[in-house]
Amino acid sequence: EADIYQTPRYLVIGTGKKITLECSQTMGHDKMYWYQQDPGMELHLIHYSYGVNSTEKGDLSSESTVSRIRTEHFPLTLESARPSHTSQYLCATQGTANTEAFFGQGTRLTVV
């Protein structure tokens, strides 16, 4: 079983609040990814990182930001949550090139 953890699993928060979604992995993988997925829909890449101090925006524009200060940690932050941010956020890692991705269980965010 992959050692990648996301917290919290569920979060309901009011509009305007700042939130940070945590993603941690113990596999020592350099590559990490954040995906956004609405229920029953496809995954959209919103951020990725190839290692410490490396972050890039993904294919879907997102108001969130990420940081990669340590290899094992890739948190995602929303400075001011809005109802349009309601979605599931999935974190993933990859080891060597051209191998599979490992996913966390996801954080289901609801902004009211």
Partner 1 sequence: SQQGEEDPQALSIQEGENATMNCSYKTSINNLQWYRQNSGRGLVHLILIRSNEREKHSGRLRVTLDTSKKSSSLLITASRAADTASYFCATVSPSGTYKYIFGTGTRLKVLA
Please tell me the distance from the alpha carbon of residue 45 to that of residue 33, in angstroms, as a whole number.
Answer: 7
Q: Which of 14, 40, 53, 83 binds partner 1 (CB under 8 A)?
A: 40
Q: Which stretch binds partner 1 (CB under 8 A): 12-20, 62-70, 71-79, 100-108?
A: 100-108
Report if residue 45 touches partner 1, rule: CB under 8 A: yes
How many helices (H) does the chain have, and how many strands (E)?
Answer: 0, 11
The binding site for partner 1 (CB under 8 A) comprises 6, 31, 33, 35, 40-45, 48, 50, 58-59, 88, 90, 92, 94, 97-106, 108
